[in-house]
Amino acid sequence: MIQKTKVPLLLLCLAICCLAETFTVQAAIRPIYSKVVGIVDGDTIEVIWEGKIRRLRIWGIDTPEWDQAYSKQSKEKTRALLLGRDVELFVKDVDKYGRLVAVVIANHVNISEELVRSGLAWVHIYYCREPICNDWKDLQRKAKKRHIGLWKDSNPIAPWVWKSMHKW
């Protein structure tokens, strides 16, 4: 009797996993249209989705933490680009904090790319592993060479390094 219940349960689990994978791929291909209603920091925003305000992490980048140099500038750039605007979201994931993680497009501008180009974000070394990330790394090198944004500092500390040095 135990074996008979294990097999259907296993099949049910496999079916759920397959459906979840299908949903993720479809969500990444088809945009969700939303409106930005809040800016938390340079790489986290609030959008209206499914009738609720939801936090969203901008995919592929990392901006300075709230008490790091250039945090305010990064947040202000994100505010100027997004607050009150209609956006296209290409959902990639949900992070450990329950935030959607998505590519954000506003007025045909990829926000991750614009923040890197402006020298106000790093290409995230752990999460940005797609071909577009190589283009963004080139933009990051150019911003560094031009000493713009956070690259005005001789050796800015990436947020993932800073967090490892400042355990809360």
Cβ(46)–Cβ(40) under 8 Å? yes
Amino acid 114: pLDDT: 98
Q: Is 57 a catalytic residue?
A: yes
Is 65 in the active site?
Answer: yes
| CA–CA dist 31, 27 (Å, integer) | 7
Catalytic residue among 57, 113, 114, 117: 57
Catalytic site residue from 65, 79, 85, 88: 65
**Per-residue pLDDT band at 168 (split at 50, 70, 90):** low
Per residue in 2-24, pLDDT (tens digit) is 444 443 433 333 333 333 333 34
Assigned token pair, 20: 């979840």
pTM of the model: 0.82
The catalytically annotated residue of 30, 55, 76, 99 is: 99
Choose the CATH number for 31-165 among 3.40.50.300, 2.40.50.90, 3.40.50.20, 2.170.150.20: 2.40.50.90
Q: For residue range 117-148, what is the model confidence (pLDDT) as tens digits?
A: 999 999 999 999 999 999 999 999 999 999 99
Report the Cα 42 to chain-centroid distance in Å: 10
99 included as an active-site residue: yes
